[in-house]
Amino acid sequence: MSNDSIARSQSSPSGMGCLGGVILLGIGLFVFGVGLFVFGIGWIASSIPKFDFTSETNSFPLMEEYAIRGDSLRLDVQTLERVAVIHVATVLVEGLLEDVIDQIDMAKRDPLVKAVVVRIDSPGGTLSASEDIHRRLRKLKEGTGKDGLGGPIVMVGSIGPIAASGGYYLAMPCNPILAETSSQTGSIGVFVSFPSVEGLGKQFGFGVTLIKQGEIKDSGSPFRSMVPKEKQVWQDLVDDGYQQFIRVIEEGRPHLKGKLLEAMTMKALRAGPTGADGMPEYSRYRADGGLWTARQAKEAGLIDHLGSLDDAIDEAIRKAHLPTDTLVVEYERPGSLLDSILGRDRRRHDSFLDIPDWEKGLSMVSSGPRAWCLAPGYELEGLAAMAKRSNSHSRPTGSALSETPRPKSGRVHFRR
């Protein structure tokens, strides 16, 4: 073979194509390896607890302020009076309220906060958790928890998709309360539920042997039906919580005093042909435990106005006699290195429906009955929240630890 033919064969397109493919494969493997390395470093970094060495008492990550409205170019932004938006977007269960409590603490310890908008997207939860957040919000509004740094502040409620039962309960320190036209609210009531396997036990021949001391110690057992006396004991427990709920609403909305149990005649909407044969009107009362649309709630006096979160912010600025361009901030927990690498936004106020491993909520049956202020149809969300609480390491609410003051971050970040 001549030298010319050898040269032509070495420079043939097929030979160059193979060489190029090998080079591209090598580059791809290199990039893939670098990506795996960066991902691994980010995952390790995000798994390492964040420590604050400036204070021995600050054992938990601080939240940071993010401006969502106002003049971000002001040089004196750190000294501007502001409105804080506190997001409550969770099923209200003890142990799952850390983010909400931290937001309240941030606003409470900031003397520059002159008004607060409480944005609620919650179907409620346990009675005790609802009361805990209600109490903290009331103290924030009254200025009794601001460590002498300020006095009473304006507090406006903003109802998102749903603020029902316990979600409505904690809105009572707010005045006024605004709801979006598509919101659901109300559901004023308390319940206790008991699973029962008595029928299955009789069918398949299983049960339990109980040894007790105390006449109604096994009241609510899933293996037998309650006797009337036991039902009355639990009914009294529920009634006590219900009366507490009523008192809280009457204190927060005095114009409803004595009216929550009054009968109201409701006209059926009959929006489509399928409802033509239904009841033309029916009777309800405000505290019947059912949900109300935003328009119905306004007519019943449960809320004050229809409006968005921006409308609620404008109302808070007006009531606090602040300039229209007042700085408006919200609080979020700083994201991890992995969040930054992956471009994830660490939103503190995710939807209350974003609860992993909800199927583990069936384990709640072993935790005993609780008094729930939960909207109808949201039992599974309550179960999921209980499961998440049992699998989390959140600090308990209502404890001395949760009252430990922590300094604010001292920085304001601006969302573009």
Q: Following DSSP, what letter does each residue of 71-105 receive, concatenated?
A: -TT-TTGGG--EEEEEEE-S-B-TTS-HHHHHHHH
Kindly report the CATH number assigned to the domain that includes residue 364: 3.90.226.10
For residue 362, the tally of other CB atoms under 10 A from its CB is: 14
Q: Higher model confidence: residue 412 or residue 180? A: 180
Q: How far is Cα 180 from Cα 321, in angstroms, rounded to an integer?
A: 24
pTM: 0.71
* Residue-wise pLDDT tens digits, 187-209: 999 988 877 777 777 787 777 78
If you average pLDDT over every residue of the chain, what do you get? 76
What's the rounded mean pLDDT across residues 48-77?
61
CB 85 within 8 A of CB 313: yes
pLDDT at residue 319 greater than cutoff 50:
yes
The two three-digit tokens of residue 397, written as one number = 């609410």
What's the rounded mean pLDDT across residues 13-35?
64
Q: Higher model confidence: residue 18 or residue 113? A: 113
For the CA atoms of 22, 26, 28, 34, the dihedral, rounded to the nearest 10 degrees, stands at 180
CB 60 within 8 A of CB 395: yes
pLDDT at residue 374 greater than cutoff 80:
no
pLDDT at residue 263 greater than cutoff 90:
yes
Strands 305-306 and 263-267: unpaired
In a domain, 274, yes or no: no
Quote the domain boundaries for residue 376: 64-193+227-261+284-414
pLDDT at residue 401 greater than cutoff 50:
no
- Of 17-31, 125-139, 153-167, 322-336, the poorest mean pLDDT is in 17-31
Q: Higher model confidence: residue 325 or residue 404? A: 325
Q: How confident is the model at residue 61 (pLDDT cuts 50, 70, 90)?
A: very low
Q: How far is Cα 380 from Cα 362, in angstroms, rounded to an integer?
A: 9
Q: How far is Cα 107 from Cα 84, in angstroms, rounded to an integer?
A: 7
In a domain, 342, yes or no: yes
Residue 47 buriedness (CB in 10 A; 0-12 / 13-18 / 19+): exposed
CB 122 within 8 A of CB 163: yes
Half-sphere exposure of 228 (CA within 13 A, CB side): 0
Model pLDDT, residue 211: 84
Rounded to whole angstroms, what are the CA distances from 305 to 89, 92, 246, 309, 315?
21, 25, 21, 12, 11
In a domain, 50, yes or no: no
In a domain, 390, yes or no: yes
Residue 384 buriedness (CB in 10 A; 0-12 / 13-18 / 19+): buried
Query: Of 386, 344, 388, 406, whose CA–CA distance to 126 is shortest?
Result: 386
In a domain, 338, yes or no: yes
Q: How far is Cα 231 from Cα 192, in angstroms, rounded to an integer?
A: 11
pLDDT at residue 302 greater than cutoff 90:
yes
Beta-carbon contacts of 249 under 8 Å, excluding residues fewer than 6 positions away, are: 169, 172, 188, 256, 260, 287
Number of domains comprising the chain: 1
Residues 118, 124, 125, 130, CA torsion sign: positive
* Residue-wise pLDDT tens digits, 382-393: 656 655 555 554
In a domain, 279, yes or no: no
Model pLDDT, residue 122: 93
Q: Which residues pair with 337 in a beta bridge?
A: none
In a domain, 28, yes or no: no
